[in-house]
Chain A
Amino acid sequence: MDTLNLILDSAERIFADHCNKETLDASEAGTFATALWQVLADNGLTLLGLSESGTTAADAYRVLRLAATHALPVPLGECVLARQLLEGAGSVEGLDGVGTLGRAAAGQGMARDVPWARDCDWILIAPLEDRSDGDSQTLTLLTAQECTVQHGINLAGEARDVVVFEAGAGRTVQCSTSPTEILEQLALLRVVQMAGCLARTLELSIEYAQDRVQFGRPISKFQAIQHQLAVLAGEVAAATRAADGALERLGDPRFQVQLAVAKARVGEAAGVAAEIAHQVHGAMGFTHEHQLHHYTRRLWAWRDEFGNEAHWQRQLGRRLAAVGADQVWDFITRH
């Protein structure tokens, strides 16, 4: 087995052992999953993609996809991306505790929708927009003491806080990663997370259909249910391929286009999948007690974060229109 598969294997065990329905419910009720985070940190999972970890950025995304199949209620992806940004900027000194990543407009002193900022020891603030002078970008590293946090949540009950800080607060780091690139990394994070959630949604739906008996047989024996699950499987397969396509092109010139393809296609799959999964699960899937909604609400939330389908479709469409009708096929085959 290669290194990545070893990591995925042990990560799967860690996620399964340390994140369950109670962890998710407690997190939504406002208790941070401290024990879970500690295990992740102890096992080096908060250092994914850093050179010392021996894993690549693409490896990190693959583990983060797996984490999403368990709906981990912690800012693991944001923490990992923040650390990679810092490492890329040459700022490698150790950072302890829980960390996250937010974005703020220049001079505003406010970042919105920062995952779990309230529970973090440090928060890396990246610029929201590209600078017109094309100069290097300034990252701001804040400790919990250097900012105030207003609580907020997304529709999946994940913490999405507002972080307010004063001009000159925290430590600044110059980095060469552009705000657009940072947005792309965050969008890719949601893409792989949705792919993970989609796989789980299919798995739950198949299990449920095989267990639930009506009219004297498992509902999975009804053709109408089989066809719905086949459609769901198609969406999951397409979304998985689109997400993988973006991962495979990470760091090559085709990445931007494939990311737009992926965020648009996976976001579309998310809506279809959530709808079918709930229909198959009947009223049971509509209860708070059932775990399905932890996945479907995340799908609904994540497809809107860092650009919804419409945003990425337009971006991709403009590129295609710019190459012109007689070159669209060439464009498609070169990406």
Chain B
Amino acid sequence: MFEGLNFDAVTLPDQAEALRDEVRAFLADAMPVDCVADSNFNEGHDPEFSRALGARGWIGMTWPKRVGGAERSFFERYVVTEELLAAGAPVCAHWIGDRQSGPLLLRYGTEAQQQRFLPALTRGECFFSIGMSEPDAGSDLASVRARAKPVAGGWRLSGTKLWTTDAHRNHYMIALVRTEPTSENRHAGLSQLIIDLKDADVAVRPIRNMAGGEDFNEVVFNDCFIADDMLVGQPGNGWEQVTSELGYERSGPERFLSAFRVYVELVRVHGPEPDAPAAQLIGRLASHLMTLRQMSISVAGMLQAGKNPGVEAALVKELGNNFEKQLPELARLCVAQLADDHPFRQSFIRTLLHSPSFTLRGGTREILRGVIARGLGLR
């Protein structure tokens, strides 16, 4: 009836379901012993685990074989990602490259860039960060100020990126920067550059978050030289390129599974015969989760069909983020007083402390509602 509100039926193909068992068997062995199961995709940076996944062919699964991909379907990728998240595996290292940077390079990168970065990405040896936000450019992304000026053989880049997840651990960042002065059209004159985070003229400073972790960073470019061959796509085309990533960025299972381990512990606390209020909550949360999952699989189907489901992805993220924020809030009221070192409390506390980020990262709730409103023809 309205654009973006149709989530057609998609059944995961048998091939994808068969893969599910493989992933579970793999996880039974490969989950690092000291890993705290956490379904938040931003937690758990473990290069060794990522390499093991790469060895199985589970990074860059949908990419062509010529760049190290496995030419598998979006459904198979969907199954692998949801299994990893549900188990609480440490996926952060390769997550952004697999979800976003790789597909971006495949779409806009040169052959040389693809050959240089993608095979290493699929092996879990090369990790990417997203360089969009800046001190004065959050939701209003088009107001980025990092400025690259053309020089012989490349660009000189100055400015600051902020909140760059894992810039201190990863190898590269794809940054959205201004390559021409600001004009009437705010979306013009932006470009995407690949930045070597180990460059001497790039200063990376971790920022401690409220949960005590040091995951995101400030990244300062000190008149840093970026060679021509690190430009992604066309100069000035950065806005179009960056917005094309959003369907991938917003619709996946990481947008509603972040609090899943709390759910598992909630079920465990109440045992096989929960009282009525506990049964009701367990069922209520499942009714949301199972519906969101079907919606997300439906979007995977749209991606598989080559569509760009921007509004549908925004809807999944908006509903999903609200769900993953509500889950610990509701669960807490349904569990008797427990010590903070009880598995339920541990999972709850970790998730609660990270929950403010769920409706911020990847586009805030308010921005997503704006995208949905546009899909409804209101803007």
Contacts and interface: CB of A to CB of B under 8 A. Distances in A.
A240 B5 contact: yes
B1 A238 contact: no
Interface in B1-25: 1-2, 5-7, 9, 11, 20
B281 A237 contact: no
A292 interface: no
B263 A328 contact: yes
Contacts of B369: 226-227, 230-231
A248 B288 contact: no
B287 interface: yes
A245 to B, nearest CB: 5
Interface stretch (A26-34, A39-47, A86-94, A307-315): A307-315
A158 interface: no
B335 interface: no
B377 to A, nearest CB: 7
B234 interface: no
Nearest to A330: B24
Main secondary structure of the interface of B (DSSP, over half): helix
A227 B283 CA distance: 28
A306 to B, nearest CB: 16
Nearest to A242: B291
A314 B279 contact: yes
A203 to B, nearest CB: 7
Interface in A291-335: 309-310, 312-322, 324-326, 328-329, 332-333, 335
A293 B282 CA distance: 32
A226 B264 contact: no
> Which secondary structure dominates where chain A touches chain B?
helix
B315 A244 contact: no
Given A227-B369, A317-B278, A332 B379 contact: no
Contact of A325 (B265, B280, B289, B291): B265
A317 B291 contact: no
Interface string A227-242: 1011101101110111
Interface string B281-298: 111101111111111001
B346 to A, nearest CB: 14
B279 A313 contact: yes
28 contacts: A206-B377, A210-B378, A220-B378, A223-B370, A226-B369, A226-B379, A227-B369, A230-B368, A230-B376, A231-B369, A237-B7, A237-B295, A237-B315, A238-B291, A241-B295, A245-B290, A245-B291, A245-B294, A248-B11, A261-B286, A309-B284, A317-B278, A317-B282, A317-B284, A321-B267, A321-B282, A325-B265, A328-B264
Interface of B: 1-2, 5-7, 9, 11, 20, 82, 86-87, 260, 263-265, 267-268, 270-274, 276, 278-284, 286-295, 298, 315, 318-319, 366, 368-370, 372-373, 375-379
Q: 4 closest Cβ contacts across the A-B interface?
A: A317-B283, A316-B283, A317-B279, A325-B268
